[in-house]
């Protein structure tokens, strides 16, 4: 918990969740993730100079050497992100402890995106409900990597539900998990690792070796939080009569391991089971067709309102975490 007690850390995590619920990511503030992205871009260009020169000369670097440079990118980025936030927090804490608390809460809130995830999903939902498929395709293209130009209403809905489900780990549970373990610096370390994966963790010709370390490190960091997320989704189902906790749990056990990602299958199968729908199927990335395993049993057809229901599950998971933090504080005060 860095230099804070469990009780102090718990209330700061709860406060960060509340802050994200209230204001999300204000556009008038430069988001730390933007700076992390700039650092990744600069470091990548520097680390790949020799690789590019050798490629143009017709004597490419061996895969092992490219992977070593990618590992260096991962190490440098996460270390720098951790240290910068640690130094800012330390200076603020020296000025006044309450300023240190405020800085810690704000930085933690920037690593989560409950409200931002909801807003991104609603940008797809609103034109979809109005029958405006071109706008729905445009906005879903902002949040998924697959081709969206010819997606049907059902496929747009599936893509949005899958993204919200998967990002309940990446944008909610994982950063809060690390915030509880190590405050804002640890949460920002996680956010840097996740940003690395989103920028270089692709299995294509350009990033297959260079992004290998970033992708594997992100998988490692998300392993425990993904399974916590599956449990929290199931618990939330107990609180909402329209959802099925039993089917959510069964779906995790049956389908989670079929997903190509070691972690994404857990929240996707949990949400599919909770809603009684089936996720997965055919995705197209450029000219590549990818067949994803089916998640969940199709008790009914996917419908547009499933986007709203999945948003509600995401908020419910964050509320359970906030409530858990309050319970920790109350228990320690007994």
Nearest of 207, 217, 220 to residue 67 by alpha carbon: 207
CA 257/CA 247 separation, integer angstroms:
16
What size, in residues, is the chain?
334
| Contact criterion met (CB below 8 Å) for 277 and 298 | yes
pLDDT (0 to 100) of residue 40: 96
pLDDT (0 to 100) of residue 2: 59
CA 283/CA 285 separation, integer angstroms:
7
Dihedral pair phi/psi, residue 50, rounded to 5°: -65, -40
In this structure, the number of other CB atoms found within 10 A of the CB of residue 321 comes to 23
CA 268/CA 276 separation, integer angstroms:
12
CA 181/CA 204 separation, integer angstroms:
34
Nearest of 281, 259, 279, 283 to residue 271 by alpha carbon: 279
- Encoded tokens for 101: 């608390």
CA 17/CA 316 separation, integer angstroms:
12
CA 53/CA 65 separation, integer angstroms:
14
| Contact criterion met (CB below 8 Å) for 271 and 279 | yes
Helices (H), the chain: 6-23, 32-47, 49-56, 63-95, 97-111, 114-129, 133-140, 153-168, 174-200, 212-239, 245-255, 265-275, 305-333
Q: Interhelix angle for 212-239 vs 63-95, to 10°?
A: 60
pLDDT (0 to 100) of residue 304: 97
**CB burial of residue 286 (10 Å; 0-12, 13-18, 19+):** exposed
The two most distant CA atoms of the chain are separated, in Å, by: 70
| HSE value, Cβ hemisphere, 13 Å, CA-based, for 193 | 25
Tell which phi-psi region holds residue 295, choosing left (phi > 0), alpha (psi between -120 and 50) or beta.
Answer: beta
| Contact criterion met (CB below 8 Å) for 270 and 165 | yes
E strands, 239-331, are 279-285, 288-295
Give how far Cα 62 sits from Cα of 54, 55, 65, 68, 314, Å. 10, 11, 5, 10, 43
E strands, the chain, are 279-285, 288-295
Residue that is written with structure tokens 């906005």 in the block: 139
Three-state DSSP state, 285: strand
Q: Interhelix angle for 63-95 vs 174-200, to 10°?
A: 140
Per-residue pLDDT of the chain (334 residues; tens, 9 = 90+): 557 899 999 999 999 999 999 998 876 667 899 999 999 999 999 999 988 888 887 888 888 999 999 999 999 999 999 999 999 999 999 999 999 999 999 999 999 999 999 999 999 999 999 999 999 999 999 998 888 888 999 999 999 999 999 999 999 999 999 999 999 999 999 999 999 999 998 877 788 899 999 999 999 999 999 999 999 999 999 999 999 999 999 999 999 999 989 999 999 999 999 999 999 888 877 777 778 889 999 999 999 999 999 999 999 999 999 999 999 999 988 7
In this structure, the number of other CB atoms found within 10 A of the CB of residue 281 comes to 15
Q: What is the pTM of this model?
A: 0.94
pLDDT (0 to 100) of residue 29: 66
| Contact criterion met (CB below 8 Å) for 19 and 25 | no
Dihedral pair phi/psi, residue 303, rounded to 5°: -135, 160
């Amino acid at each position: 918990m860095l230099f804070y007690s469990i009780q102090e850390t718990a209330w700061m995590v709860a406060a960060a969740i509340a802050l994200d619920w209230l204001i999300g990511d204000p556009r008038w503030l430069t988001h730390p993730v933007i700076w992390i992205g700039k650092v990744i871009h600069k470091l990548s260009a520097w680390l790949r100079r020799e690789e590019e020169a050798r490629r143009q000369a017709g004597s490419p670097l061996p895969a092992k050497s490219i992977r070593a440079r990618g590992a260096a990118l991962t190490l440098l980025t996460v270390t720098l992100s951790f240290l910068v936030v640690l130094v800012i927090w330390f200076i603020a804490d020296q000025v006044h402890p309450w300023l240190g608390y405020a800085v810690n809460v704000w930085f933690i809130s920037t690593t989560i995106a409950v409200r931002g995830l909801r807003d991104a999903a609603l940008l797809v939902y609103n034109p979809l409900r109005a029958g405006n498929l071109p706008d729905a395709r445009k906005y879903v293209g902002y949040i998924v990597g697959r081709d969206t130009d010819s997606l049907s209403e059902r496929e747009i809905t599936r893509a949005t539900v899958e993204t919200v489900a998967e990002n309940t780990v990446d944008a909610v549970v994982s950063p809060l998990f690390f915030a509880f373990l190590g405050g804002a610096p640890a949460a920002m370390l996680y956010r840097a690792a996740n940003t690395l994966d989103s920028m270089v963790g692709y299995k294509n010709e350009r990033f297959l070796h260079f992004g290998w370390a970033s992708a594997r490190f992100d998988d490692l960091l998300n392993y425990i939080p993904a399974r916590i997320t599956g449990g929290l989704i199931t618990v939330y189902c107990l609180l909402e009569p329209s959802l099925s906790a039993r089917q959510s749990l069964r779906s995790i056990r049956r389908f989670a391991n079929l997903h190509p990602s070691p972690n994404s299958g857990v929240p996707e199968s949990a949400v599919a089971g909770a809603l009684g729908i089936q996720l997965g199927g055919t995705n197209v990335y450029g000219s590549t067709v990818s067949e994803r395993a089916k998640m969940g049993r199709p008790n009914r057809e996917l419908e547009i309102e499933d986007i709203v229901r999945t948003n509600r599950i995401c908020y419910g998971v964050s509320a359970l975490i906030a409530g858990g933090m309050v319970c920790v504080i109350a228990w320690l005060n007994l």
